[in-house]
Amino acid sequence: MNAILKENTQAPKSPAPLTAFADLDRDLQLLADNRQRWVQTPVAERITILNEIKDALMPVAQAWAETAGRKKGIAEGSPLVGEEWLSGPYAMLTYCNQMMETLSKVQGKHHLDHLAVRQLPTGQVAARVLPASIWDHLLLSGVKVDVWMQPGVTPGNLAQNTAGLYDPASPLHKTGKVALVLGAGNIASIAPLDVLQKLYSENEVVILKMNPVNDYLIEFLTPTLKPLIDRGFLRIVRGATDVGQYLCNHALVETMHITGAGASHDAIVWGVGAEGQANKAANTPKNTRAITSELGAVCPTIVVPGPWSHADIRFQAEQVATQKLHNSGFNCVACQVLVLPSDWALKSSFQSALETVITQSQARALYYPGAQDRLAGFRATNPQARALPRAGGESVLISQLDANSETLQKAQEVFAPALNVTEIAGTVPEAYLRAAIRFANERLYGTLGANIVIHPATIAQMGRARLEQILAELRYGTIAINAWTGVGFLTAQATWGAFPGHTLTDVQSGIGVVHNTNLFDKPERTVVEAPFTPFPRNLLRLSFTLLPRPPWFITNRKGAILGKLLVAFQYRPSFLKLPRIFLNALLG
């Protein structure tokens, strides 16, 4: 994990906290007084609150997206502002819609009735959570999202392992708590979605401490989440490290959630410096509160050899470039290591296409603190790294390393636009894929997300059942096939977080999951799959997923327009809104 803390530390210090500690005490006391009232809030009122949040969000959505784009150094009018529409207001609206759908049927677990449930070749249960509506079929045609359950969950007991919070017999149904959420500084919807996770999936009222990097979002989050604030179930505060430390150790804070760096997590749990090292070695936490986390990883993209066309190469090059450069590379699930088959005849063509897309991509500011230092560290560790220049902005660093090199085995997450490329031998797709999976599992830090790019003919040759058996070996919380794991983040029904099994002493990508609007109690991972081809086989199927570029691609020329249109659609879905979406998708 990057030794430079990237989320809740190493942010610029505010001149002084705008919220005094006395105000924090009052906020926490108010939340403590209301924690049991939230537990007793009926499902119908919880749905009403989500509806009110949707209504409150729309008047600030445009200012939210445009302000975030400006703060991140995106040029005014750039298609890249679409990233802020999708990763901010769109993600929030999607969560509200999906949680409202679940809560409307949660009594008797009837929200599971529409899900296709099957057993995998491994014996595990998988629930198809997307597509879930006519809108999914129209707008995300061909995209499938499955949530795999942990071993022991069966089709017969899935309901008993779902939505336990809303079971009157559950202890969680009766006991409220006060949670501290330490908001991330990179993606706008992370903090508010973590707040909703605590409230709606864990029955906990929340004090949200925003990261100084993006606390400008308070201007938009306060009116959006006003329905919760007014009822006394949420408080939002700002401040630097001293405020975070005060809250982490406050007597009224009972649980915590952090999105950020493993070093930040360990500083909270074990302490800092020699004291922290000693506490961790002795397994004696300095802070014993329950803590969940999402902490990033050295995320791989594995390219499987196959019979790709020239159009396939160009499209998948745009996809991998997006995996690296979305949000200027400041994503916990950005591609960190590109794994290529060394013996593939099309390897050089694909790598050349990828570098062309990168150099032609729109440059933007390195807005996240410490980026220049991290890039300098990458250059020092990888002296052979090449700089791929982009007009009007920072170059992208790319380093070609042997899979067995000591440098790559010690590679850390680079929270900046830099990429390691490595190669693994093999021309037989199954053997190569299994070798690449072993490499990812054994050599790369963390388990947050992994991408696999594989031609449908190769899948057919391998066999779907065999592919799923192989995927079961890949220990990541989200796996994307011919897609980016970031799509899993945007899918509220999916789970988001590390592969289960990490501990406080070896936390890697974190503990627990968020989002998960179907309220699965024992999920293992999410698997996202999208069509490989960029063009529709049936031209009458107008879908932006099968058309040239999905709206989240960094190369989409209509990204900002599509983002705005999709936000309006999520707010109030209508067939009348589809023609403009399809038209702009065609032009993207």
User: Over the stretch 252-289, which tens digit does the pLDDT of each residue have?
Assistant: 999 999 999 999 999 999 999 999 999 999 999 999 99
* The pLDDT value given to residue 343: 94
* The pLDDT value given to residue 37: 97
What's the mean pLDDT when you consider all of the chain? 92
* The pLDDT value given to residue 409: 67
* The pLDDT value given to residue 393: 76
Mean pLDDT of 162-167: 94
Mean pLDDT of 156-181: 90
Q: Is residue 15 very low, low, confident or very high in pLDDT (cuts 50, 70, 90)?
A: very low
* The pLDDT value given to residue 173: 67
Ranges of each domain in the chain: 21-106+163-294, 299-529
* The pLDDT value given to residue 392: 73
Q: How far apart are CA 504 and CA 497, in angstroms?
A: 15
Q: What is the pLDDT of residues 299-319, one digit of tens each?
A: 999 999 999 999 999 999 999
Say which range, 474-483, 507-516, 532-541, has the weakest mean pLDDT.
532-541
Q: How far apart are CA 352 and CA 314, in angstroms?
A: 10
Residue 41 has pLDDT above 70, yes or no: yes
The token pair at 2 is 């990057």
Residue 104 has pLDDT above 70, yes or no: yes
Q: What is the pLDDT of residues 129-155, one digit of tens each?
A: 999 999 999 999 899 999 999 999 999
Asked whether 32 and 178 are in contact (CB, 8 A), the reply is yes
Rg (CA), the chain: 23
Q: Which CATH architecture has domain 299-529?
A: 3-Layer(aba) Sandwich (3.40)
* The pLDDT value given to residue 540: 40
Q: Is residue 73 very low, low, confident or very high in pLDDT (cuts 50, 70, 90)?
A: very high
* The pLDDT value given to residue 412: 79
Residue 541 has pLDDT above 80, yes or no: no
For residue 255, the cross-strand partners are: 179, 290
Residue 14 has pLDDT above 50, yes or no: no
With a pLDDT cut of 90, the percent of the chain lying above it is 86
* The pLDDT value given to residue 318: 96
The H-assigned helical ranges of 80-171 are 82-85, 91-103, 134-139
In 3D space, the residue among 35, 71, 29, 22 whose CA is nearest the CA of residue 243 turns out to be 22
Mean pLDDT of 208-234: 97
Asked whether 172 and 202 are in contact (CB, 8 A), the reply is yes
Q: How far apart are CA 588 and CA 583, in angstroms?
A: 9
Sign of CA dihedral 447, 148, 303, 546: negative
What is the homologous superfamily of the domain 21-106+163-294 according to CATH? Aldehyde Dehydrogenase; Chain A, domain 1 (3.40.605.10)
Q: Which of 221-225, 425-429, 548-552 has the highest mean pLDDT?
A: 221-225
Q: Is residue 11 very low, low, confident or very high in pLDDT (cuts 50, 70, 90)?
A: very low
Of 4 and 45, the one with more pLDDT? 45
* The pLDDT value given to residue 405: 81
Q: How far apart are CA 204 and CA 193, in angstroms?
A: 14
Q: Is residue 174 very low, low, confident or very high in pLDDT (cuts 50, 70, 90)?
A: confident
* The pLDDT value given to residue 543: 43
Instruction: Note if the bond before 131 is cis, omega within 30 degrees.
Output: yes
Mean pLDDT of 533-560: 68
* The pLDDT value given to residue 7: 40
* The pLDDT value given to residue 534: 62
Residue 329 has pLDDT above 70, yes or no: yes
